[in-house]
Structure 1
Amino acid sequence: MTDTSDTRTADGAARAARPSPLHRLMRYLPLVAPVLLWAVPCWVLLHSGQHWPLPVTVTGTVVFVLGLVVMPLAMARGHGRRQQDAAAIVGDTLLGGSWILFTWSVLLGVLLRLALVLAGVGDGEERARIVAWAVLGVTAVVLAWGTFEARRVPRVRRIDVPLPRLGAGLDGLRVALITDTHYGPLDRARWSERVCEVVNTLEADVVCHTGDIADGTADRRRAQAAPLGTVRATRARVYVTGNHEYYSEAQGWVDLMDELGWQPLRNRHLLLERDGDTLVVAGVDDVTAESSGLAGHRAHLDGALDGADPDLPVLLLAHQPKFVDRAAAAGVDLQLSGHTHGGQIWPFHHLVRLDQPALAGLSHHGPRTLLYTSRGTGFWGPPFRVLAPSEITLLVLRSPHQKPEQETEPQTAP
């Protein structure tokens, strides 16, 4: 006699072990995506009815094929074991450029063509050429604008954040947030200096860096990161690791930030007191830390809050917004995060939202937890930002309790 329960259990385990169709599709995405990024614009610009002269069609097709071949090779040499900065610049630029060209090829290739048909403009060849020139023109403008947006010093975004448990003595506490500076193959030492100069104008009590300092080891990017040592805060400068630190010897970055005068909050907290009231400022390693295999690195919220009075308000630094589920369960008052870049290049934000609960700005989670997600101070990889402006954030913490105003003696004229 066969035990049917064991059979059902084995069948269920087998089904659980088999990847879902979505997971199977994701395996092939790194192979399919580059082909689409280059093939779709090639079709829209050259082969969808334009009837360009043969040399134009052949030359253009060869350019797209070269892009398809060079981009992954350059990225592999730039971000792989060799870490060749020149190759990384080429690969990253091609990746961003192809994404922008792909986006507008799809949008204009469908919407503009449909509008031309409905308006009765020209024949098929004329409409195809109008679409091609429109795609090239819009892409050129977006690339120029995106380059400017990525390289400029971020604007300051100020936001008041009400925290019901914040004591009156801490009302008006100024917290400056920078994150995702991503110092990398492009030397941005001067940009780094100017960012730090702007931060210093904010006269912040606490300055936070929530990770992804750079792409590359601390030794390689030291010159770009060095200006962080000039940042001023009246109370504390605190830092937590991001996922990119774990691609580039994270402990080296922890040591360098400590050397520059920042306090790495690696699953620990400090107490900030003012006028009789106290705020717990805590931090955790990035959620990817444990899988990095680096000894002692993991996201451990219980460790970060160990010994803290549970009645005190908590400000938590965690690189990725999705850590907010754990923060809300622990009753954290405010979590500061980065990681998303606001999508960086529109419309990539739709894909980011598949992985993160928030894209940018202030959001509510659980009964009392607020999450502020920064769009980031720098950029990753492709040197473009499109409809996702970078930011330096000034958060002013507000208490519902008002300190009694001091009475002043009336003055009489002499």
Structure 2
Amino acid sequence: MTETRQRPRAARRARFGVVVVTALLLLFGVPWATLVLPWQAAVVAVGTVVFAVAAAGFPFLMFLGHARGRDWAARTGDTLLGVVWVLFAWSSLGLVARLAQAPSRFVAVTVLVVGVVLVAWGVYEAMRVPRVRRTEVTLPRLGPGLDGTTVVVLTDTHYGPINRTRWSERTAAAVNALTPDIVVHAGDIADGTVAQRLTQAAPLGTVTARYARGYVTGNHEYFGEAQEWLDHMASLGWEPLHNRHVVIERGGDRLVLAGVDDATAKASGLDGHGAQLDAALAGAPDDAAVVLVAHQPRQVAETAGHVDLQVSGHTHGGQIWPFHYLVRVDQPSVQGLSQHGPTQLYTSRGAGFWGPPMRIFAPSEITLLTLRSPAA
């Protein structure tokens, strides 16, 4: 019986190994072929060694960084991933140019220059304070007393191996400068434990809102300490929208601000976690508009028709072009406002970054939603 169980496990490991090796060969091999092969033998020899060492070291850096919690390895591996992804994307385009008879050395130099410029720009875009993106959303059930209510969406801060305490302080100040009625954090606060990212997350305690500050878990919380992050956010004065809601009243009208756990919560096996829309809306007034915070846009498949507006993050807008094409396979929206039956969905590109400290053609954002009543 034991031998029978071990065979499928060994087969899965073998398939996983083949996938990893194939991905590494493509990711590092295409840039190698584009940038190195067109040159004389000495350059080819040196370039081959550089790419081979990088490809061999990359899995170990990612394992040490993300499985063992070594921040130095995560910083190195993540940066290497960003650089090689940019070179892979543009080298692929370069190979197309070579098929069209473009000189191979011209293509190599062009890809290298474009890659260097995009990596430098991408790092700058990732490290700057997010720009404010303003959008008006009309909710048919929103009473006139709540017309003009502002909701600031902060999501995917991803405090991690790079210490961004100063960035966190400046981002919190940018949120406060908007004097919002409501602030929501739509998940993926950090990569790591509360203890590891305590200093970086501390400025979230300075965020202010006139009526409410709500927080829901993202998928990255379920890589480690989801409940601890919920408790910590509560200690900072945020309302954990852990499958629950709060009611906001103004001008004689009411708005329901609800939240559900991330789509991955149930599979985590953590007691009391798992997206439960019924629990989140239990006891909510029937005549009030509902704004629901759910980390992943694909959760709209369950919430459509039950809420007026879903606010999500998770996608990062693709983060590094052309990754948004892959994101679109998994999610119904990559960024911005979209309609899903009677429910509207706003997908934020997020404030931070995951993995590579870069954003290329996917700028970060702090979202300012202004809710409008058709009766106002």
* Equivalent in the alignment of 1:389: 363
2:87 to 84, 101, 104: 101
* Equivalent in the alignment of 1:410: none
* Equivalent in the alignment of 1:362: 337
* Equivalent in the alignment of 2:196: 220
What's the offset of the Cα at 1:109? 2.3
| 1:10-409 alignment runs, 5 A limit | 28-47=18-37, 50=38, 52-80=39-67, 82-111=68-97, 113-114=98-99, 116-117=101-102, 127-330=103-306, 332-366=307-341, 368-402=342-376
Seen in structure 2, the aligned counterparts of structure 1 residues 271 and 27 have a Cα distance that, compared at 3 Å, is: farther
Stretches of structure 2 lacking an aligned partner (at least 5 in a row): 1-7, 9-13
Q: Secondary structure at the match of 1:219?
A: coil
Residues 185-205 of structure 1 show CA distances to partners (whole Å, capped at 9, x for unaligned) of 000000000000000010100
Q: Which amino acid letter does the alignment assign opposite residue 219 of structure 1?
A: A
Q: Which amino acid letter does the alignment assign opposite residue 323 of structure 2?
A: F
Q: Secondary structure at the match of 1:296?
A: coil
Stretches of structure 1 lacking an aligned partner (at least 5 in a row): 1-17, 19-23, 118-126, 403-414
Residues 244-277 of structure 1 show CA distances to partners (whole Å, capped at 9, x for unaligned) of 0011211110111001010000000010000100
CA distance in 1, matches of 2:319, 2:199: 25
Q: Secondary structure at the match of 1:220?
A: coil
TM-score by length of 2: 0.94
What's the offset of the Cα at 1:114? 4.6
* Equivalent in the alignment of 2:4: none
Q: Secondary structure at the match of 2:191?
A: coil
Q: Which amino acid letter does the alignment assign opposite residue 327 of structure 1?
A: T
CA distance in 1, matches of 2:100, 2:40: 26
Seen in structure 2, the aligned counterparts of structure 1 residues 190 and 289 have a Cα distance that, compared at 3 Å, is: same
* Equivalent in the alignment of 2:5: none
CA distance in 1, matches of 2:61, 2:346: 35
Q: Secondary structure at the match of 1:299?
A: coil
Seen in structure 2, the aligned counterparts of structure 1 residues 296 and 226 have a Cα distance that, compared at 3 Å, is: same
CA distance in 2, matches of 1:31, 1:306: 49
> CA contact under 8 A between 2:205 and 2:237: conserved in structure 1?
yes
CA distance in 2, matches of 1:147, 1:369: 36
Residues 23-61 of structure 1 show CA distances to partners (whole Å, capped at 9, x for unaligned) of x988854332222110111111222xx2x3322111100
TM-score by length of 1: 0.86
> CA contact under 8 A between 2:34 and 2:94: conserved in structure 1?
no
> CA contact under 8 A between 2:314 and 2:350: conserved in structure 1?
yes
* Matched pairs, number: 364
CA distance in 2, matches of 1:298, 1:79: 24
Q: Which amino acid letter does the alignment assign opposite residue 44 of structure 1?
A: T
CA distance in 2, matches of 1:280, 1:347: 37
CA distance in 1, matches of 2:126, 2:332: 24
CA distance in 2, matches of 1:384, 1:31: 25
What's the offset of the Cα at 1:177? 0.4
Seen in structure 2, the aligned counterparts of structure 1 residues 25 and 334 have a Cα distance that, compared at 3 Å, is: farther
CA distance in 2, matches of 1:396, 1:269: 20
Structure 1 outlier segments of 4+, above 3 Å: 24-31, 114-117
CA distance in 2, matches of 1:393, 1:273: 22
Q: Which amino acid letter does the alignment assign opposite residue 29 of structure 2?
A: A
Q: Secondary structure at the match of 1:376?
A: coil
CA distance in 2, matches of 1:53, 1:201: 57
Residues 280-301 of structure 1 show CA distances to partners (whole Å, capped at 9, x for unaligned) of 1100010111111111011000
